[in-house]
């Protein structure tokens, strides 16, 4: 793990692949909608775009018909199978430690707001800000969500870092002009290595 040059006052987390291990849940949901709607893209192709909003993933897979129905069904299946999602080891302890150190925390995720709120409640995850894509904010790899959080928290960019596990996360952080650290234990979609990385979330406490 490479140490950062200066301490951070705001740590922004991705959700899937960073705080929660949702790969089995996503696999189950995709395979279910694929079967129901007779979709052609394989699970492997689907995972190639994970990290972007679900609607954008469908577009990347050239799926345009039954757009609303597919999204609705995917959300329903995902929620009904939340038991397949696990919290990564050390998440709660790390968040408590950051709070004790008076370091602000936030979540920027491509998940919709409804599922995100349900998951945070399920796992009792408390952060200072949560930002999902919406009609006014483009999803990753665009920087809109990260910039919104930084503005809301009244932080200078040099005091912020984004922890992610996909290329979309990295690009969003770079476009936001803040530091990035790779969650080396996560999905690592489109990115296999990075100069600043953590092998488990507890390591964050070593560079704050």
Q: What mean pLDDT do residues 118-146 have?
A: 96
Residue 108, H or E segment: strand 104-108
Q: What 8-state DSSP symbol labels residue 204?
A: G
Pick 198 or 7 by higher pLDDT: 198
* Helix ranges, 101-166 (H): 113-122, 144-153
Q: Which of 207, 165, 206 is nearest to 189 (CA)?
A: 165
pLDDT in tens, 90-104: 999 999 999 999 999
State pTM to two decimals: 0.92
Element (H, E) at 164: strand 160-164
Residue 113 token pair: 């707001």
- The class that CATH gives domain 10-21+86-206 is alpha beta
């Amino acid at each position: 793990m490479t140490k950062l040059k200066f301490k951070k006052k705001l740590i922004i987390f991705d959700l899937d692949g960073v705080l929660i291990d949702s790969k089995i849940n996503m696999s189950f949901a995709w395979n279910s909608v694929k079967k129901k709607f007779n979709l052609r893209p394989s699970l492997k192709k689907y995972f190639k775009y994970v990290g972007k909003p679900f609607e954008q993933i469908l577009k990347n897979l050239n799926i345009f018909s039954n757009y609303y129905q597919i999204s609705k069904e995917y959300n329903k299946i995902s929620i009904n199978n939340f038991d397949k999602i696990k919290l990564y080891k050390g998440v709660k302890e790390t968040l408590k430690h950051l709070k004790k150190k008076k370091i602000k925390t936030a979540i920027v995720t491509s998940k919709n707001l409804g599922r995100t709120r349900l998951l945070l409640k399920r796992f009792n995850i408390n952060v200072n800000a949560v930002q999902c894509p919406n009609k006014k904010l483009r999803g990753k790899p665009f920087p809109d969500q990260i910039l919104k959080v930084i503005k809301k928290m009244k932080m200078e960019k040099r005091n912020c870092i984004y922890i992610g596990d996909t290329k979309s996360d990295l690009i969003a952080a770079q476009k936001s002009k803040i530091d990035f650290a790779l969650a080396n234990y996560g999905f690592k979609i489109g990115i296999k290595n990075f100069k600043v990385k953590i092998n488990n979330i507890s390591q964050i406490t070593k560079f704050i």
